[in-house]
């Protein structure tokens, strides 16, 4: 008897993603996938609403997802939406429209659940024994927000517990719309770094994260497109290859050097990166 097939749709502020996978004893094996940059949150920072053009783009992508899922005998599927639909004044109206036009029922999840799901997806890495760290710090940079989760790792029990989380309004689209072209200057970059540092200070104080890092007791995990792109650059990939990225390790000095290199490029320079 073949293992069941599952499908998941993640509708973010920037991307719409579909993953179809088969569950087995060794975990999930990806059977099919789809990703499209729909920019659902375009203009949201200024208007507080989802724009008609952005909604049309997204519905077209979701239709493709529904068609793709129809090719398989799925055991079950789940579709979720995150920051753009949480924040937009017409977010729930859009969800109702998607159901009416595509038949797809999408759940808008909370920032906490988003952090919990990201942690769950990284559980095998959290449980790895190559480092006896007792804490995990996960960052998930999205299009509309960045979720940060602070977890206690219990390797003996094979589990982790969420100790705290914070959701920052610093996704790639949100930051880009707030700062405009200035973000591609050295001044703009340093302004954003300063803003985010200020936002994180209270979270750090409550959970003593800096202290734990100084004790070498923290495993740092990054998810989503920004950090995977950084890992791809670190490996010198001419074209993004997921198989070489998932679960890979990037040292902090190497990561910082790559960030500094990207920060020193204008928009045209960044676009030239494969």
pLDDT at 274: 62
The DSSP 8-state label assigned to residue 2 in this structure reads P
Confidence of residue 236 (pLDDT cuts 50, 70, 90): confident
Do the first three CATH levels of 5-109 and 112-271 match, i.e. the same topology? Answer: yes
47-60, pLDDT tens digit by residue?
999 999 999 999 99
Cα(65)–Cα(54) distance, integer angstroms: 17
Is residue 27 pLDDT above 80, yes or no?
no
137-167, pLDDT tens digit by residue?
999 999 999 999 999 998 888 889 999 999 9
Please name every residue paired with 32 in a beta bridge, in sequence order, or none if there are none.
Answer: 20
Angle between helices 252-263 and 225-234 (to 10 degrees): 100
Ordered by start, the domain boundaries in the chain are: 5-109, 112-271
Confidence of residue 183 (pLDDT cuts 50, 70, 90): confident
Cα(145)–Cα(165) distance, integer angstroms: 13
Reported for 232-239, long-range contacts at CB under 8 A and 24+ positions apart, including other chains, are 233/258, 233/262, 233/273, 234/258, 237/274, 238/274, 239/274
pLDDT at 259: 87
Mean pLDDT confidence for 14-25: 92
The CATH number of the structural domain formed by 112-271 is 3.30.420.150
More confident residue, 194 or 232: 194
Angle between helices 52-69 and 91-102 (to 10 degrees): 40
205-232, pLDDT tens digit by residue?
999 999 999 999 999 999 988 888 888 8
- For tokens 């940079």, what's the residue? 141
Task: Give the number of residues written for the chain.
Answer: 274
Helix, strand, coil percent values for the chain (each to nearest 5): 45, 25, 30
Instruction: For residue 115, give the 3-state DSSP assignment.
Output: helix
Q: Architecture of 5-109 per CATH?
A: 2-Layer Sandwich (3.30)
pLDDT at 145: 94
Confidence of residue 129 (pLDDT cuts 50, 70, 90): low
For the ranges 59-63, 124-128, 267-271, the lowest mean pLDDT is seen at: 267-271
What pTM value is reported for the model?
0.88
Phi, psi dihedral angles at 154 (to 5 degrees): -115, 90
pLDDT at 68: 98
Percent of the chain with pLDDT over 70: 97
Mean pLDDT confidence for 33-59: 97
Phi, psi dihedral angles at 262 (to 5 degrees): -70, -40
Cα(93)–Cα(24) distance, integer angstroms: 38
76-109, pLDDT tens digit by residue?
999 999 999 999 999 999 999 999 999 999 999 9
Is residue 130 pLDDT above 70, yes or no?
no
Q: In what order do the strands lie in the sheet with 159-168?
A: 159-168, 146-154, 135-141, 218-223
């Amino acid at each position: 008897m073949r293992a069941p097939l599952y499908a998941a749709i993640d509708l973010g502020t920037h991307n719409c993603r579909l993953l179809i996978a088969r569950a087995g004893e060794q975990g999930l094996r990806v059977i099919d996938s789809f990703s499209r940059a729909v920019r659902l949150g375009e203009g949201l920072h200024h208007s507080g609403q989802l724009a008609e053009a952005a909604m049309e783009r997204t519905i077209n992508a979701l239709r493709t997802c529904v068609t793709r899922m129809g090719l398989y005998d799925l055991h079950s599927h789940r579709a979720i939406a995150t920051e753009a639909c949480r924040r937009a004044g017409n977010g729930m109206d859009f969800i109702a429209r998607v159901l009416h036009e595509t038949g797809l029922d999408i759940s808008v999840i909370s920032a906490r659940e988003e952090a919990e799901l990201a942690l769950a997806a990284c559980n095998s890495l959290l449980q790895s024994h190559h480092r006896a760290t007792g804490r995990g710090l996960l960052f998930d940079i999205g299009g509309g927000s960045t979720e940060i989760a602070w977890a206690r790792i219990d390797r003996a029990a094979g589990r982790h517990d969420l100790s705290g989380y914070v959701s920052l309004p610093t996704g790639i689209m949100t930051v880009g719309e707030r700062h405009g072209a200035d973000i591609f200057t050295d001044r703009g970059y340093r302004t954003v770094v300063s803003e985010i540092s200020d936002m994180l200070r209270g979270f750090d104080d409550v959970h003593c994260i800096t202290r734990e890092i100084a004790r070498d007791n923290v495993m740092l995990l990054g998810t989503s497109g920004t950090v995977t792109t950084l890992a791809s650059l670190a490996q010198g990939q001419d074209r993004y290859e997921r198989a070489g990225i998932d679960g890979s390790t990037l040292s902090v000095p190497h990561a910082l050097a790559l960030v500094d290199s990207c920060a020193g490029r204008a928009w045209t320079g960044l676009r030239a990166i494969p």
